[in-house]
Amino acid sequence: MARRRRARTAFTLVELLVVTAVIASLASLLLPALARAREKAKVAKVHAELYGVGLALEMYADDHDGQLPPVRVDCNTDLSAHWCQFPVELAQGGYLPRGDKPGMAANMEDVFNPGHTYKYAAPGPQILNDSPGGNFRLWVPDDFPECTARDGRYYSNRADSPARWVLWSLGPRPDSEKTQDSHAPMASRSWYRRSGDGGVIARMATRDGLQLKTP
């Protein structure tokens, strides 16, 4: 009788297969939701870190007669992938933590682009391949700060530009068409909007220093 009772309480192969299928179905429903939650958490972290960097930029400007650090562009060197990296001056002056990796003088890694800092650009002086190289030209839409207009112009002088500076992450899909838009990060069509989407995550400042962030 005891052996018969134990046999009746055991699972059959069919029952085990059904349970496994149910668990697999639940996992397939939960995993995308977890992935979206992780992505949203990273986006929130980006916004928080860019806000802090924006404050560091303004602190630097206050200490340097209103001048911002130059933009760095490396087009013919091993650092070409680190275009518009965070300014070395912010790390050297203690406004941001220092790093010791190539292209990461400031230890502020883009959570969506490991091994690279977030990006920084502003109209005005630029460093081209480690040497002074004229002025950086920032495209700004005509309706800045709404940034929905397709028309705009390039500014190379900070006194003329309605945008003071811009900081951005390449977002969850760095190689997406939106992220690689020729007018990113200032055009709203290039901005990240929702989970699973491409686009940049940006923070910018108006001429008078008011910080704004993308949705």
Task: Concatenate the DSSP letters of all residues of 4-63 into one string.
Answer: HHHHHHSPPHHHHHHHHHHHHHHHHHHHHHHHHHHHHHHHHHHHHHHHHHHHHHHHHHHH
| Residue indicated by tokens 């993308």 | 214
Residue 136, SS3 per DSSP: strand
pLDDT at 76: 73
Radius of gyration of the chain (CA): 24
**Nearest CA to 162 among 129, 180, 139?**
139
Q: What is the mean pLDDT of each run of 10 residues along the chain (215 residues)?
A: 54 69 65 80 96 96 96 84 92 93 91 95 93 93 96 96 98 95 97 93 95 94
Tell me the residue ranges of DSSP E strands in the chain: 71-73, 98-101, 104-106, 119-121, 124-128, 131-136, 138-141, 152-155, 163-169, 201-206, 211-213
Give the separation between CA 94 and CA 161, rounded to whole angstroms: 28
Residue 25: per-residue pLDDT: 66
Nearest to 201 by CA among 86, 211, 188: 188
DSSP state of 197: -
pLDDT of residue 3: 52
